[in-house]
Amino acid sequence: MTKVPFNKPYLTGKEAHYIYQAVYSGKISGNGIFTKKCQEFFENRYGFKKSLLTTSCTDALEMCAILAEIQPGDEVIVPSYTFVSTALAFVRQGAKIVFADSCPDNPNIDASHIEELITPNTKAIVPVHYAGVACDMDPIMDLARKYNLLVIEDAAQAIDSYYKGRPLGSIGHLAAFSFHETKNIISGEGGMLAINEERFIRRAEIIWEKGTNRAEFFRGEVNKYGWVDTGSSFLPSEVIAAFLWAQLENLENIQQRRRELWNRYNDVFSAVVLPRITLPNIPSYATNNAHMYYLICQSLEQRTELIKKLKEKGILAVFHYLSLHSSEYYRDKHDGRVLSNADHFAECLVRLPMFYELTNDEVDEIAHLVSG
């Protein structure tokens, strides 16, 4: 078998063409024709009230933290098994992070244990849709209404995935997406803020444009623009948006192929007896956007051996997050609760190669090596 990387960015063939158009349009600094086309695509397809492209999902989360008016002393509930940006965006605003455990049978936040973490200082809940599979959003939204909290969906991996028929990113008050090269739809680096409540839209545009009302000025709504709020340079260039547009035009094709690969992995593994390995669990309320195919080993040692075995055959399989509550930066700030499910996934989850150009034969060979 030839070497199989963990990821290979897929190019549709139109990226360079659209980048050429953007460069020679004379408008490459951002918020030009390709930015508008991408944002309208998301609003029309998924029903977001407003979408704003950003330079990364991290930036989109930082915008969420500003919009939520997070202050020092506020508490934000975040799953421990997630990427650092999920927590860092709120730490930068002075929040105390209250880490939640994962479900016993999948890495998402365990909605049944969130209420016990809520205090008078709680300001927001940040569910992360791991592997593009929905968290159980109804009880989370019920808690938000009961305690007057904001829900900010970290939908970094969740493009084109659904919860009970509703697009992920459209359920909470705000949401953040990623178009990093490892995601289904990519722009190298890039992200998006999705806004689902009108009350956040005007301020979001100001924060997006470095704290100015520049967007209103260019729409002719004000006769001059200036510094009116906090913010930063969250707006990406037209080059990034042009690349992204080529991907969005091919969303259906990309998603179809990824689902074929995911299903092939799952069908092969389901037909054999795997040695002490658990397959992904997709709850009945969730769809699968085929962002990732992962396996759960029974121990760190077993996972280490499996990764080594595949690497010796030229196949790059990788683990994922380390539990944030036990990270070097935050462990002294954590309240001491044991989050055993998050730790289990941190030690035992392994991700297999998953990208558009992966072949069926390669999937079969990887599955054979895992089960052999």
Residues 369 and 315: beta-carbon distance below 8 Å: yes
Question: What count of residues does the chain have?
Answer: 372
List the catalytic residue out of 183, 224, 308, 333. 183
d(CA 237, CA 325): 35
| DSSP classification of residue 118 | -
Contact by Cβ (8 Å): 196, 77: no
Q: Which of 202, 107, 228, 200 is nearest to 157 (CA)?
A: 107
- Give yes or no: 308 in active site: no
CB 144 within 8 A of CB 122: no
175 close to 89: Cβ distance less than 8 angstroms: no
- Classify residue 250 as exposed, middle or buried by CB count within 10 Å of its CB (0-12, 13-18, 19+): middle
Residue whose token pair is 């699968």? 288
Active site residues: 183
